[in-house]
A and B are shown apart, each in its own frame.
Chain A
Amino acid sequence: MGITFTVYDGQANVDREWPFDIVPRLILKDEWDEIARGLKQRVKALNAFIDDVYRHRRALRDGVVPEDYVLRSREYRSRCAGVTPPQGIWCHVCGSDLVRDDDGTLYVLEDNLRVPSGVSYMLENRAVMKRVFPELFEHYGIHPVDDYPARLAACLRSLAPSGTRTPRIVVLTPGIHNSAYFEHAYLAQEMAADLVEGSDLTVADDDCVYMKTIEGLVRVDVIYRRIDDLFLDPEVFREDSVLGVPRLMRAWQAGNVALANAPGCGVADDKVIYTYVPDMIRYYLGEEPILRNVPSYRCVEKEARDYVLDNLPDLVVKPANESGGYGMLIGPHSTRKERDAFVRAIRAQPRNYIAQPMLKLSTAPTLTGSSAEPRHLDLRPFVLSGKDIYVTTGGLTRVALRKGSTVVNSSQGGGSKDTWVIEGQ
């Protein structure tokens, strides 16, 4: 059961199935409201930080976040310095990953600020559940998730450069071979936006972006881009990129087109920078963080590094800028040889690594064959920032299907569940 986007094609099997577990994950509404408040707070601070990094660097001067860590982050884009995106918002779509420890404490594991994916699975999982269990939806107060595409469209519209025309929104995809292509097509369709590839767009002499249509060139106001910064504009970033649009950065800098998320956002999901998010919340908002960070050791700092190197078998080591669960060391499950490799890697590039204690992730009942067994899971809610901030009701629950595994990434054998936010009693 579940969503299959697989076409039965031996040669060009570019789609694949994502296993779906039919047992929903439940969260009480009251508890969810508090989490949602925490997420809004967090994303607000993150946006304030990114804006600050590329404009005044106040937090860097005040020593809240070491300047060196920021400016030497792989995801820092010097070309973005001085740009003023609408409302000072850089990250319009954020997907933060939440986990629960065995004592029930909720932690933010990481923030995905670049091109987070998975929301279409949240929507499709719900559609499947409604088909299979219509009665449950009649009798329990399960909060809907279906308004996401409309919210996303509204958020994107609010970014359009001012003018009288109805803003034209496009979803920029790397194309059919991207693993999230289904989602790009899905969202474009649901938002009645055009799904475009780089070659469909052109930047004219007036530094405005146009798409090539049968009517000729049509002006584009907002680009929901689902390609990485480095491929956006071959004139500025990677010259060999065929996915992007030459001169796109120039159009964006001139304020003639909005990019969501803005280039350069990734500086705040560098995992070293992540460790400073609670400080950012205090600094920019003057509030205590509602959601906790997982305690983290920055290998770039000598004392922390020594501790990490001495305690590798008990720790999880993560590279600062990878996503999809790649390049991690899970200490308790690692071999001597793997740990040795990490010792060398950490010594060679300490700035590139953080370490965290191994959390005993919470579990939920999951169907395995004919019985239900506990499996570890996490949760990715999506947060939209435009004129207002919107948080999905619940989010995408990812579940590790292998017994004992804590890796939930779809690229590493994870599956997903529907997430029900329900009224208590």
Chain B
Amino acid sequence: MSSSVLSRVAEQVYWIGRYLERTDATARLINVNGNLLMDLPVRMPLGWRPLIDITGSGALFDELYGPGADASEHNVCRFLGTDLRNPGSILNSIAGVRENARTVRGTMPRITFEYVNDLALFARSALTPGQSRRNRAQALDGISRRAQQLEGFLSQNMLHDAHWDILRIGNYLERADMTTRIIDVRSADLIAGDHALEPFQDIQWRSVLRSFYAMQAYHASVREPVEPALVLEFLFKDPRLPRSYLRCLNGAARSLQELPRNERAAETCTRAIAALQATDVRALGDPEARTELHAFIDRCQIRLRDLHDTIMATYFD
């Protein structure tokens, strides 16, 4: 009997993929920002607000922490890390992984749940609001590592059937989404040509690369100094960088090919890739092209949302 993939189960697997990726990305984001700020002069205008903007949760943050809320390190880390009122917080993302994993156990090796529990238990005990920076960094690092370990475990051990393809699509879409968001928010500060920040541009672009674990990859692949236009092109278009926008779309397209009834979703994906290929991303790195860059990223996000909606409608409804 060939096993079918229930729509309900497929949807849960998809969200496991997304939440797992979100957990890892958010943990890295906070850590990299913490490191960046240490290198910037105290009076720099950057601070923690950009993380709220990256995760697209400004309205909720203001609602929870008061209008014009203080985007202090404490508030932002709490909001993104442990605040259960924020559906995108790390603890909630992990809970999302766990809730969904509980009901789809038959699709993954039995021991998977031990990895999931380990991640959840570690996060809950290690990550606490108002902890010292050192402890926070260690906790986030541990979370990120456990999330990646779980992804690695699944890729090496679960059956690479349709469940796997759907899990991957969830991974890729979340990753592509996060990649474009990080670039959008960071470039707004960086390309803006804020004179106060100019001497620190290099540090900042390096921090962007670090949010992707991509410092070494950049050097190996681009073989040029860290420059805005080159970094942008690298993060959008390098087909070998696992978190590049192109690589995510390619990955989603490949996984989609394995699924039945994939016509509409595959077409949406192909269009997004074609649109990227037709864009001179390097030119968007010019400080003069800031508005165009933002508009381009906006279109990328709309395409990602289209793809998500198409997948929902095709497979999960």
Contact = CB atoms under 8 A, between A and B. Distances in A.
Contacts of A196: 6
Given A7-B102, A195-B106, A213 B5 contact: yes
Interface of A: 7-8, 166, 168-169, 175-176, 185, 188-189, 192-197, 199-200, 211-216, 218
Nearest to A201: B6
A214 B260 contact: yes
* Chain A facing B: main interface SS: mixed
Interface in B162-201: 162, 166
B262 to A, nearest CB: 10
Contact of A194 (B3, B10, B105, B315): B3
A293 to B, nearest CB: 40
B6 A211 contact: yes
19 contacts: A7-B98, A7-B102, A168-B1, A176-B103, A189-B106, A194-B3, A196-B6, A200-B7, A200-B8, A211-B6, A213-B4, A213-B6, A213-B7, A214-B5, A214-B314, A215-B260, A215-B261, A216-B260, A216-B261
A218 B261 CA distance: 14
B302 interface: no
Contacts of B315: 214
Contacts of B3: 192, 194
User: Which among B7, B10, B314 has the highest number of chain A CB atoms within 10 Å?
Assistant: B7
B106 A185 contact: yes
Given A7-B117, A214-B261, A197 B8 contact: yes
Contacts of A213: 4-7, 10
Q: How large is the interface on B (under 10, 10 to 19, 20 to 34, 35 or more residues)?
A: 20 to 34
B121 interface: yes
Interface of B: 1, 3-8, 10, 98, 102-103, 105-106, 117, 121, 162, 166, 259-261, 314-315
User: Which among A176, A189, A213 has the highest number of chain B CB atoms within 10 Å?
Assistant: A213
A335 B248 CA distance: 70
Contacts of B166: 214
Nearest to B5: A214
A176 B100 CA distance: 11
Given A8-B117, A8-B121, A212 B106 contact: no
Nearest to A199: B8
Contacts of A8: 117, 121
A188 B106 contact: yes
Contact of A200 (B6, B121, B261): B6
A212 B7 contact: yes
A176 B102 contact: yes
Contacts of A215: 4-5, 260-261
A213 B11 CA distance: 10
Contacts of A185: 105-106
B1 A192 contact: yes
A197 B9 CA distance: 10
A218 B1 contact: no
Contacts of A199: 8
Contacts of A195: 106
A215 B259 CA distance: 8
